[in-house]
Amino acid sequence: DAMVIQNPRYQVTQFGKPVTLSCSQTLNHNVMYWYQQKSSQAPKLLFHYYDKDFNNEADTPDNFQSRRPNTSFCFLDIRSPGLGDAAMYLCATSRDSFTDTQYFGPGTRLTVL
C-alpha cells in the first residue's frame, strides 16, 4: 500500500546531463516537498508545492527545478547535474498545514559520473 512512490530508486547520470526524478502520491495531499540528503547530512528542503503554488527555499540552486502537473505527481528536474548533486532525494507529502505529518517516499539515490 505504497502512499508516496518515488521512481527510480537509483538513478545514474553523467555530469551535465539533465535528469528527472519522479514522485507520486495516493494520499491526495495538498503539499508535496523535495528534500536533498547528502551522505551523513540532514535532509534539506529544496522546495515545496502547496497545491499549484511553488515555494522555493532561498538557498536552493537554480539548477534545481520542479513541476507538479497534478495533485498526484511531482517532478524534480536537475538541469545540469554536478558531482556535488549526488545525494538521496526524498519526496514527502502532507495534508495541509505545517503541523500535519509529512509522509516520505523511499527516496531516489542519484549518482553523478
Partner 1 sequence: DQQVKQNSPSLSVQEGRISILNCDYTNSMFDYFLWYKKYPAEGPTFLISISSIKDKNEDGRFTVFLNKSAKHLSLHIVPSQPGDSAVYFCAAENSNSGYALNFGKGTSLLVTP
With b meaning 16 or more CB within 10 Å and e meaning fewer, what string describes 88-100? Answer: bbbbbbbeeeeee
How far apart are the C-alpha atoms of 94 and 88, rounded to whole Å? 20
Q: 57, 61, 77, 113: which one contacts partner 1 (CB under 8 A)?
A: 57
Q: Which is nearer to partner 1, 19 or 31 (CB)?
A: 31
21 binds partner 1 (CB under 8 A): no
7 binds partner 1 (CB under 8 A): no
3-state helix, strand, coil in the chain (%, to 5): 5, 50, 45
What is the Cβ-side half-sphere exposure of residue 70, based on CA atoms within 13 angstroms? Answer: 6
95 binds partner 1 (CB under 8 A): no
Interface stretch with partner 1, choices 14-22, 62-70, 73-81, 102-110 (CB under 8 A): 102-110
Q: 1, 42, 69, 70: which one contacts partner 1 (CB under 8 A)?
A: 42
Beta-sheet pairing, 53-56 with 44-50? antiparallel
Chain positions contacting partner 1, by CB under 8 A: 4, 6, 31, 33, 40-45, 48, 50, 55, 57, 90, 92, 94, 98-99, 101-107
